[in-house]
Amino acid sequence: MKKVVIKKPGGFNTLKLISCNSEILKKHQCRIKVKYAGVNFADTAVRQGLYASAKALGFPITPGFEVSGSIIEIGTEIKKFKVGDKVWGITKFGGYTSEICLDEQFIFKTPDHLSCAEIASIPTIFLTAYHALFQNVIVRPNMTVLVHSASGGVGTALLQLLNIIGCTSIGIVGGDHKVAMAKENGAKYVINRKTEDLWKRTKEICPEGFDIILDAVGPDTLKKGYAQLKPTGKMISYGFASMMDPNTSFTNWFKLIIGFLKIPRFNPLNMVSENKSIVCFNLSFLFDRQDLIQQGANAIQKWLTERKISAPKISIYKAEDVSEAHRDIESGKTTGKLLLEF
């Protein structure tokens, strides 16, 4: 088998595709021949040694939270699957590989109408969106919701789920080529932050303030976004992309420190009187809550079967071009989801 290994934190050249022996299959596991593995922005933080749950595991490490492919071997206790089943799976790292052994509860059958590539693009972005909207706050129909990075993987997933709920979504993107993507996935309004005055425009669209703001940007947007929440409004923070430097593959410590200093400090006493709140999460730590993982995955599987949600735009890279995939996703110029093909 082959897998991508990072032996120590660093730039693109630390991503190495190596040959290695297959894992020993446990009785409650299935062995999956991986066709596609999802690439997420979080993987670049793993590579640079900045991702807390990855640092806890230590290096060397193989990134990757999701795979798709077919089952080639089953453990003695497996009842739900058989050899040959086309499946998708979620994993706490280790997804950049041509073969993987996963516990049965983290494996799901691929709906007939979806290709292997399409299903590989879905798990992480929709689990993130589901956890944000259904397991952290109460989202009601007719709420007005602001979505940052609305043309990316998680952004398009959020827009689709908000559309199911019946909310009015305003998407923020970073280029004219990203506007159509946000609109196609359900945004009623789209703001190009590169050509428009972002916070002036949001005030024009929603003068009374937002019910929810979903923010993966971080220091550059949290303070001004919080100011535009209406009373009872919720800020949901799940990333700090603006602290990363898109112009280098290495950790820009100066930019990180400046970003850290720019992060607003929220005073709980003020938040009580303003009747606003902020919720933060990191999906990788959710693996300790299998009940929440299962709830989210089952809901996604149901919506996929009912064709209420769909795969984002997909860009496919050969596994040996993993460095190029990381370079592109860090650049901020991509839309939709990136996949590695094994």
Q: Is the pLDDT of residue 320 over 70?
A: yes
Helical packing angle, 153-165 and 123-134, nearest 10°: 50
Average pLDDT over residues 275-304: 91
What pLDDT is attached to residue 288? 82
Encode 186-219: b = buried (16+ Cβ within 10 Å), e = exposed: bbbbbbbbeeeebeebbeeebeebbbbbbbbbbb
CA 156 from centroid of its chain's CA atoms: 10
Q: Does residue 152 share a domain with residue 62?
A: no
Calpha distance 335→142 (Å, rounded): 27
Alpha helices in the chain (DSSP H): 41-47, 52-57, 116-120, 123-134, 153-165, 179-184, 198-205, 222-227, 253-262, 268-274, 290-305, 322-331
Q: Does residue 99 share a domain with residue 168?
A: no
Structural domain includes residue 131 = no
Show which of 243, 259, 280 is a domain's final residue. 280
Beta strands 277-280; 337-341: pairing state: unpaired
Please, are residues 203 and 189 in contact by the beta-carbon 8 Å criterion?
Answer: no
Rama region for 83: left / alpha / beta (φ>0; ψ in -120 to 50; rest): beta
Structural domain includes residue 129 = no
Q: Does residue 146 share a domain with residue 81?
A: no
pLDDT over 70 percentage in the chain? 97
Q: Does residue 294 share a domain with residue 183?
A: no
Calpha distance 169→213 (Å, rounded): 10
pTM of the complete model = 0.91
Calpha distance 314→339 (Å, rounded): 7
Q: For position 218, which CATH number holds?
A: 3.40.50.720
Q: Is the pLDDT of residue 257 over 80?
A: no
What residue numbers bound the domain in which 200 lies? Answer: 137-280
What pLDDT is attached to residue 185? 95
Q: Does residue 303 share a domain with residue 227?
A: no
Q: Does residue 249 share a domain with residue 148?
A: yes
The mean-pLDDT minimum among 137-151, 152-166, 283-297, 317-331 falls in: 283-297
Q: Regarding predicted confidence, which is higher, 267 or 97?
A: 97
Confidence of residue 301 (pLDDT cuts 50, 70, 90): very high
Q: Is the pLDDT of residue 247 over 70?
A: no
Q: Does residue 173 share a domain with residue 92?
A: no
Q: Does residue 160 share a domain with residue 62?
A: no
What pLDDT is attached to residue 317? 98
SS3 224: helix
Average pLDDT over residues 255-271: 83
Q: Does residue 152 share a domain with residue 270?
A: yes
Q: Is the pLDDT of residue 90 over 90?
A: yes
Q: Does residue 230 share a domain with residue 178?
A: yes
Show which of 232, 253, 280 is a domain's final residue. 280
Q: Regarding predicted confidence, which is higher, 217 or 29?
A: 29
Average pLDDT over residues 94-102: 98
Confidence of residue 51 (pLDDT cuts 50, 70, 90): confident
SS3 246: coil
pLDDT tens digits along 172-208: 999 999 999 999 999 999 999 999 999 999 999 999 9
Average pLDDT over residues 3-24: 95
Structural domain includes residue 166 = yes
Q: Does residue 315 share a domain with residue 275?
A: no
Please, are residues 32 and 87 in contact by the beta-carbon 8 Å criterion?
Answer: yes
Q: For position 83, which CATH number holds?
A: 3.90.180.10
Two structure tokens written together for 278: 């902020």
Question: Across the chain, what does the average pLDDT equal?
Answer: 93
Please, are residues 315 and 338 in contact by the beta-carbon 8 Å criterion?
Answer: yes
Calpha distance 183→171 (Å, rounded): 8
Structural domain includes residue 128 = no
Structural domains in the chain (count): 2
Contacts of 34 by beta carbon, 8 Å cutoff, 6+ apart = 67, 68, 69, 95, 97, 98, 99, 100, 342
pLDDT tens digits along 59-82: 999 999 999 999 999 999 999 999
Show which of 280, 297, 318 is a domain's final residue. 280
Structural domain includes residue 312 = yes
Q: Does residue 273 share a domain with residue 215?
A: yes
